[in-house]
């Protein structure tokens, strides 16, 4: 309803929007450089990733991210010390590895040590009542000013021309102050009008210079208001907690028409067991476009096959997984999910549930992942095509079958199979 009242038209979706994406942020933070990025890009390509997200750390020198107002955030000029040839690195990832490159930006943030500060410092938001004392400077460019909007045109023009990214990942917009007591001139009376005008300016600049570039935003500014300026949504940071990530993404689903749902750059401790790591992988692939961020330099060797298996599974089923009908089921406080696609249905089996999972159309191919903490599944499904099925149970790599047999199933069936934790049951109707 909000969409139609605003005349929202979903954007065209470049191919890359569905790409599984790798990002090292949760373990490297902004301590990245040209060699590490190239090493990780090559490794992630081997695992099956198709986009590499270069997170905070390319934009200015390492260690500045946490300094906020006191630092040099806002430059978006790769430092020569850590990235001797940043444009060349991006070109190599694209041309030699065949991957797309996504660049992190927090374009509303500006630190006092940024080289933009002398000219843009007076466009920063000040907060506090001037009658009670001097208002405090914040690290946020005021979106109600002309200077901020003009800066976005120049900044995005330069970044897109110099580095030629395929996609952009926008950060830290939820804390822009909505009231501003700076003495600068406000072109827009209301915060929302100024913010939307600036967002529109950014999107128009991107479309003018690089129409194929797509934009990823995370909750909470991945919201109904920002839909016209983005392609992909993801939930807020949920490192180390796949269940929080999965449920946070689910909450955004009812509002995401026209947008593609993605996931947090899922990180887990390299020390966890393989079945536990498989639960992280399953939660990501059954939630949306997969974004992963484990430390692939430290992970045990067994995990490479698992990640590759899950990314292959995603590639083979991505239209159904991303574009199918998404339904919560089970415990209303902690629902699991199933997805009905054109060619197959997918059940995320996270908790035991006695009630039926009801399919709205005949299902001839069904994938059930055991994402629970216990071995074995016991699931009542309604809506299968009656007949004989090939029932296959995978290993953790999803590559080999540990069991395969023929079973008779009816429209309403109780599926009880010895599926180990993190493995997949595939049921295919036999001709």
Site residues for Zn ion per CB under 5 A: 142, 180, 182
Taking the complex as a whole, the smallest distance from the CB of residue 141 to Zn ion amounts, in Å, to 9
Nearer to Zn ion, 194 or 383 (CB): 194
CA-angle at 326, arms to 324 and 330, nearest 5°: 145
CA-angle at 427, arms to 426 and 431, nearest 5°: 135
Taking the complex as a whole, the smallest distance from the CB of residue 305 to Zn ion amounts, in Å, to 53
Nearer to Zn ion, 146 or 353 (CB): 146
Could you tell me if 214 and 243 are in contact, meaning their C-beta atoms sit under 8 angstroms apart?
no
Taking the complex as a whole, the smallest distance from the CB of residue 186 to Zn ion amounts, in Å, to 6
Nearer to Zn ion, 42 or 196 (CB): 196
Long-range CB contacts for residues 318-325, cutoff 8 Å, separation at least 24:
318/18, 318/289, 319/343, 320/344, 320/346, 321/285, 321/286, 321/346, 322/18, 322/260, 322/261, 322/288, 322/289, 325/360
Nearer to Zn ion, 190 or 343 (CB): 190
Taking the complex as a whole, the smallest distance from the CB of residue 175 to Zn ion amounts, in Å, to 15
> Of 265, 210, 229, 241, which is closest to residue 52 (Cα–Cα)?
265
Taking the complex as a whole, the smallest distance from the CB of residue 201 to Zn ion amounts, in Å, to 16
Taking the complex as a whole, the smallest distance from the CB of residue 194 to Zn ion amounts, in Å, to 8
Taking the complex as a whole, the smallest distance from the CB of residue 258 to Zn ion amounts, in Å, to 31
Taking the complex as a whole, the smallest distance from the CB of residue 113 to Zn ion amounts, in Å, to 21
Nearer to Zn ion, 63 or 130 (CB): 130
Nearer to Zn ion, 15 or 174 (CB): 174
What secondary structure, in 3-state letters, does 3-71 show? HHHHCCCCCCCCHHHHCCEECCHHHHCCCCCHHHHHHHHHHHHHHCCCEEEECCCCCCCCCCHHHHHHC
* Bridge partners, 328 (sequence order): 337
Non-local (6+) Cβ contacts of 272 within 8 A are none
The SS3 assignment for 235 reads: coil
Nearer to Zn ion, 142 or 398 (CB): 142
Taking the complex as a whole, the smallest distance from the CB of residue 152 to Zn ion amounts, in Å, to 15
Could you tell me if 149 and 197 are in contact, meaning their C-beta atoms sit under 8 angstroms apart?
yes
CA distance 203 to 188: 19
Nearer to Zn ion, 89 or 180 (CB): 180
Non-local (6+) Cβ contacts of 110 within 8 A are 73, 74, 116, 117, 120, 121, 124, 139, 140, 141
The phi and psi torsions of 254 (rounded to 5 degrees) equal: -60, -15
Nearer to Zn ion, 140 or 163 (CB): 140
CA distance 295 to 47: 13
């Amino acid at each position: 309803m909000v969409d139609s009242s605003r005349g929202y038209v979903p954007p065209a979706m470049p191919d890359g929007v569905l790409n599984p994406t790798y990002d090292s942020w949760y373990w490297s933070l902004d301590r990245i450089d040209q060699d590490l990025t190239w090493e990780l890009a090559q490794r992630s390509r081997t695992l099956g990733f198709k986009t590499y997200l270069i997170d905070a750390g390319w934009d200015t020198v390492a260690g500045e991210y946490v300094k906020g107002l006191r630092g040099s955030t806002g430059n978006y000029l790769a430092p020569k010390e850590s990235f001797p040839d940043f444009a060349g690195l991006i070109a190599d990832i694209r041309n030699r590895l065949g991957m797309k490159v996504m660049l992190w930006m927090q374009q509303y943030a500006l630190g006092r040590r940024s080289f933009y500060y002398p000219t843009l410092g007076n466009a920063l938001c000040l907060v506090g009542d001037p009658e009670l004392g001097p208002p405090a400077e914040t690290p946020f460019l005021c979106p109600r000013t002309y200077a901020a909007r003009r800066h976005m045109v120049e900044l995005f023009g330069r970044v897109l021309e110099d580095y030629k990214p395929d996609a952009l990942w926008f950060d830290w917009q939820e804390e822009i102050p909505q009231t501003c007591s700076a003495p600068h001139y406000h072109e827009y009376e209301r915060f929302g009008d100024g913010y939307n005008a600036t967002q529109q300016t950014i999107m128009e600049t991107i479309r003018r210079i690089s129409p194929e570039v797509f934009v990823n935003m995370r909750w909470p500014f991945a919201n109904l208001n920002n839909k016209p300026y983005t392609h992909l949504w993801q939930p807020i940071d949920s490192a180390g907690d796949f269940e929080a990530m999965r449920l946070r993404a689910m909450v955004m689903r009812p509002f995401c028409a026209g947008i593609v749902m993605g996931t947090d750059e899922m990180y887990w401790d390299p020390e966890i067991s393989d079945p536990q790591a498989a639960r992280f992988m399953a939660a990501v692939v059954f939630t949306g476009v997969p974004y992963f961020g484990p430390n692939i330099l430290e992970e045990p060797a067994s995990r490479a096959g698992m990640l590759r298996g899950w990314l292959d599974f995603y590639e083979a089923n991505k239209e159904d997984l991303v574009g199918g009908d998404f339904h919560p089921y089970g415990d209303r406080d902690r629902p699991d999910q199933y997805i009905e696609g054109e060619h197959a249905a997918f059940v995320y089996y996270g908790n035991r549930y006695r009630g039926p999972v009801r399919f709205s159309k005949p299902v001839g191919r069904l994938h059930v992942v055991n994402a629970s903490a216990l071995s074995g599944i016991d699931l009542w499904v309604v809506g299968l095509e009656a007949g004989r099925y090939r029932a296959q149970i995978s290993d953790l790599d999803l590559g080999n079958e540990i069991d395969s047999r023929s079973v008779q199933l009816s429209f309403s069936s109780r599926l009880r199979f010895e599926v180990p934790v993190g493995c997949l049951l595939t049921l295919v109707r036999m001709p």
